[in-house]
Chains A and B, each alone.
Chain A
Amino acid sequence: MVHTRHLVEYLGITGDTIGDGEVVLGMPLGPGLEDAWATVLAGGPAALADTAGGVCAARAVDPVRIATADLALHCVAAAVGGTARAQARVAARAAAPCSPRSRSAVPGASCLPTR
């Protein structure tokens, strides 16, 4: 099967607010993201959180390239239906620059090589 829709389009993720310092994305819940018990699988919210966090971080350090180093997700309710809203904000900028470019653009940002 040929998949032409990108992941964010399949998930129905929309950009409600895309600003510097805050990003709000929407994602419809319901069929497709639930298991046989009609509870939301963690994978959908994880993809939403990773997208929102990534966009928020990238906006904050633009034009530097960023990638996710770790993701901690805690699901507190198994919601069904409606639209989920993911509100992302930069909580902290951490230490140890490792390249002149990243140092100039993001004072104190951590850094990994592209492998």
Chain B
Amino acid sequence: MLTEVTISGAGSELLAHAMITSVVLADGPRSPSPGLLERLRERRGVVAATGARRAYREHLGIMVEDGSSCCVEIRDDLRNGIGVLHGGVVAGLVDAAATHAAAAAGLTGRSADLLVRYVAPARTGPVRAVAATLGTDPAGNLIRVEVLDAGAGGRLVALATARVVAHPGVTVTASGSSPAAR
């Protein structure tokens, strides 16, 4: 099943666009959990207190191991309705590994495009994302990220690519990003 997701800002401006392929599992628990749907319904119209929110990567517990890899432990609050690591957390880990790899290569920026192919569920952890730069051009760096469940014998969880672009005001040069222009 192909699902299209459009993310808009407060002024209805387009922030992001996603295409998601979902597959039917042959067995296992229902998804998403009835509890999740109930929580979402109960929270309808609720405005969350964003001021109290910790930094996303810090909340997830993403640890930077070196310039090319990051890892995260699988806590219960990071599991989805079928009991495995939430796909959004895997994507966040990919984003973290890609941007750190780009930074190590001299490009300070953000992931503008993420393509994550989920190969197997991550159940054990820690889950490690290992990034490698495939190429660079003026539009940014193309990063390949391999996500592995280290606690499950290094089983491949996802293969991903990310395009990391420089922050506004940063000029990318052959030797890396220019000093911040903020």
Contacts and interface: CB of A to CB of B under 8 A. Distances in A.
Contact of B40 (A3, A45, A55, A63): A55
Contacts of A111: 23-26
A91 B19 contact: yes
Contacts of B95: 41-43, 46
Interface in A12-44: 12-16, 18, 25, 28-33, 35, 37, 39-44
Nearest to A92: B2
A50 B31 contact: no
A70 B50 CA distance: 29
Interface in B21-65: 21-32, 36-37, 39-41, 43-51, 53-57, 59-60
Contacts of A28: 47-48, 50
SS class of chain A's interface: helix, strand, loop or mixed? mixed
Interface residues of B, number: 86
Given A42-B95, A53-B5, A70 B25 contact: no
A42 to B, nearest CB: 4
B89 A47 contact: yes
Interface in B9-28: 9-11, 13-28
A47 B117 contact: no
B114 A77 contact: no
Chain A CB within 10 A, most for which of B23, B56, B89, B116: B23
Contacts of B13: 77, 79
Chain A CB within 10 A, most for which of B16, B87, B89: B16
Contact of A81 (B10, B18, B24, B56): B10
A49 B118 CA distance: 15
B118 A65 contact: no
A88 B8 CA distance: 11
B144 to A, nearest CB: 15
A7 B77 contact: yes
B77 A74 contact: no
B50 A29 contact: yes
8 contacts: A15-B44, A18-B40, A53-B3, A76-B14, A81-B10, A93-B1, A102-B24, A106-B24
Interface of B: 1-11, 13-32, 36-37, 39-41, 43-51, 53-57, 59-60, 75, 77-78, 80-82, 84, 86-89, 91-93, 95-96, 99, 108, 110-118, 120-121, 162, 167-168, 180, 182
Given A57-B22, A69-B117, A88-B4, 19 more contacts: A8-B40, A10-B54, A37-B180, A37-B182, A41-B92, A42-B92, A54-B31, A56-B5, A65-B31, A67-B82, A68-B23, A70-B118, A72-B19, A77-B14, A79-B9, A83-B10, A87-B5, A93-B1, A110-B23
